């Protein structure tokens, strides 16, 4: 099967890292294709950038030429999943939701640890609307931006691992969801510090997407995610303008 995995920002290097992480857990026979939006922010850290990403991802996906069996939207707490579900019939999997859903099979409660404080509300909203918030112990942030993560990875690992530890000890989380990507050593450090399972959203989403495809399940078209009604729409795909 073929799965499209869409980055929500315009940084190609991140798309590559995401696709690589996806491939690492994909089944033999599953092809992973990374997509980078043609416009938007170099990193998504707020509602404006996330709304722009929503359209940019839809834009990129609908213009994709070729067959595919599922789409993964690879951003934490981002807008847009519902729009993709309307435009497509194949399953659409949001990594925030896949991670939470997976974590709930492993412990009674989970916490998400993310980068900037300002992205916490977006992740919470996504979990609330996704019906996955009841067993969320907390969404914590390390206070570091994506950029700082790259410029000082060691400090970033410690900052995030420290928040994970607080989540386990203070918020009583039993599983940690890493709400940011790209650091192999991060996962190891959190496991070492906290002694709890750590879920990576991209990898969880690949499993969910493959599972839905294997079961022949597709998005319900009966109401919320019905195809858009025929009407005059301009400016979409945006890049076609």
Q: Which residues from 160-219 bind its own copies, rule CB under 8 A?
A: 168, 172, 174-175, 194-197, 199, 203-204, 207-208, 210-212, 214-215, 217-219
Binder to its own copies among 34, 75, 77, 83 (CB under 8 A)?
83
Nearest approach, Cβ of residue 66 and its own copies (Å) = 21
3-class secondary-structure state, position 34: strand
Using CB under 8 A as the binding rule, whether residue 74 contacts its own copies is answered as no
| Contact flag: residue 80 with its own copies (CB under 8 A) | yes
Closest contact distance (angstroms) between CB of 212 and its own copies is 6
Query: What are 178's two structure tokens?
Result: 């890493």
Question: 154 to each of 123, 145, 148, 198, how far by Cα in Å?
Answer: 25, 14, 10, 19
Judged by beta carbon, residue 72 or residue 159, the one nearer its own copies is: 72
Q: Nearest distance from residue 85's CB to its own copies, in Å?
A: 7
Least separation in angstroms between CB 198 and its own copies: 8
Quick check: 39 binds its own copies (CB under 8 A)? yes
CA–CA gap between residue 97 and residue 137 (Å, rounded): 15
Beta strands 198-200; 175-179: pairing state: parallel
Q: Are 79 and 146 in contact (CB under 8 A)?
A: no
What phi and psi values does residue 92 have, to the nearest 5 degrees?
-120, 125
Contact status: 238 vs its own copies (CB under 8 A): yes
| Measured distance CA(100)–CA(13) in Å, rounded | 25
Selected binder of its own copies within 5, 8, 132, 178 (CB under 8 A) = 132
DSSP element (H, E) containing 32: strand 31-35
| Residues present in the chain in total | 241
10 binds its own copies (CB under 8 A): yes
* Residue 20 beta carbon to its own copies: minimum distance, rounded to whole angstroms: 16
């Amino acid at each position: 099967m073929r799965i499209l995995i869409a980055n929500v920002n315009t940084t190609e290097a991140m798309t590559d890292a995401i696709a690589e992480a996806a491939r690492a857990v994909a089944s033999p026979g599953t092809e992973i294709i990374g997509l980078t939006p043609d416009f938007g922010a170099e990193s998504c850290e707020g509602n404006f950038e996330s709304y722009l990403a929503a359209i940019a991802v839809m834009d990129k996906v609908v213009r994709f030429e070729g067959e595919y069996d599922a789409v993964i939207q690879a951003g934490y707490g981002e807008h847009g999943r519902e729009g993709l579900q309307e435009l497509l019939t194949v399953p659409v999997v949001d990594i925030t939701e896949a991670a939470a859903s997976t974590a709930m099979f492993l412990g009674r409660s989970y916490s998400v640890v993310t980068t900037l404080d300002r992205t916490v509300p977006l992740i919470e909203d996504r979990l609330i609307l996704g019906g996955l918030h009841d067993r969320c112990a907390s969404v914590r942030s390390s206070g570091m931006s994506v950029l700082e993560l790259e410029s000082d990875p060691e400090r970033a690992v410690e900052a995030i691992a420290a928040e994970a530890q607080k989540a386990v000890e203070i918020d009583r989380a039993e599983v940690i969801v890493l709400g940011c990507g790209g650091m192999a050593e991060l996962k190891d450090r959190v496991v070492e510090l906290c002694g709890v399972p750590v879920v990576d959203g991209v990898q969880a989403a690949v499993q969910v997407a493959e599972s839905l495809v294997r079961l022949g399940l597709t998005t319900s078209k009966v109401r919320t995610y019905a195809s858009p009604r025929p009407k005059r729409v301009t400016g979409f795909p945006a890049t076609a303008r």
